[in-house]
A and B are shown apart, each in its own frame.
Chain A
Amino acid sequence: MIDTPVVDVDAPTLTPPIGDRDHVVGPVSAPVTVVEYGDYECPYCGMAHPIVKELRRRMGNQIRFAFRHFPLSRVHPHAERAAEAAEAAGAQGPPRFWQMHDMLYEHQDALEDEDLLVYAAEIGLDMDRFVADLESGRHARKVREDFISGVRSGVNGTPTFFINGRRHQGSYDLATLMAAVSAAAMHVRR
């Protein structure tokens, strides 16, 4: 009764739009860009992760995917550090970001510092650089910028998705996301 879904006609808009500072995979020419605001320690984000991967697989070159950090640090004490670890990996090459991203989402119950080191080693990162980045908090600012952009864009929990800049209002099961992405792609073609 209390959680009646309501269609929000003026859905919030992604601010700022996707740019150079973002982690993006998929062809630049893709008609649809999906952005996730996520938290590596959030169980709902963990559940959404394989769904997003499947969505990307099925939609092929129709879709470009970007990830921004939205760590809810007060309830998820490892989330901020995990986000910084993903950034530290990304600093060693864009594919590294996504490798670490997958690692973190696939090991949400093991996000202590020593776990992060194990993942970094498995990915084959320059460990000295990775450790120095984490210890100095070099990427904390980037993570906070992502978080603030989320607040400004109307993110109200995690995960929150934006499809071509508009906040996705429905649930994030595969069928709903596929339908939303297809609708966005149709809209672009018109």
Chain B
Amino acid sequence: MTAGNNMNGSSAVSNQDYGSNVEPESILKPGTHAPHFNLRSTPDQTVSLSEFRGAPLVLAFYPADWSPVCGDQMTLYSEIVPEFRRYNANVLGISVDGAWCHMAYRQHQKIAFPLLADFEPKGAVARQYGAYRHRDGVAERALFVLDENAVIRWSYLSPIGVNPGADGLLRALESMTTKAAA
């Protein structure tokens, strides 16, 4: 699982179906400064990127709340929060669902971290990260690991129907820690 071989699923399909209406060329690559955002996490609270300076941050864009499986991506990450914390890392989920929808979904699935609503203007943050899927109007399933200075250190675009799991995230966090120690 590397950033190099991640373009197989979505863009091939869209080129075939939609001709000139191309998907984003690619998601933001390692070395890029993560674009700023300030999004609602609940109907009356917002979360901004700057709050997470000083520690690694995992950004998980995903298509939609309410995937009809037990081990969906956000549920899985909630189980793994203790592992992320071992690297001092926080986790944020981002989709185009509204804050009320996120709230219901978080409660129902007992999600252990904030879910941000990239809702108005729709998908604006996902677009900045190259992680918006125009043909479906949802975020791609895209992962970013940011370092303590909000520089992207690892990114991965998953085929949209495939839960990418967490092994890539943990490896990325591990290698950042190793490099910092060296």
A residues neighboring B (CB under 8 Å): 1-6, 8-10, 12, 39, 42-44, 70, 72-76, 147-148, 151-158
Contact = CB atoms under 8 A, between A and B. Distances in A.
B75 to A, nearest CB: 6
Contacts of B73: 156
B83 A4 contact: no
B33 interface: no
Interface of B: 1, 5, 8-9, 13, 63-64, 69-73, 75-76, 78-80, 83, 109-110, 112, 136, 138, 159-167, 170
A8 B1 CA distance: 10
Contact of B136 (A1, A6, A76, A154): A1
Contact of B70 (A9, A75, A151, A155): A75
A153 B13 CA distance: 28
Contacts of B164: 156
Given A4-B160, A74-B79, A151-B80, A44 B165 contact: no
Given A4-B9, A10-B5, A154 B165 contact: yes
Contacts of A156: 71, 73, 76, 162-166
B83 A151 contact: yes
A68 to B, nearest CB: 14
A148 B159 contact: no
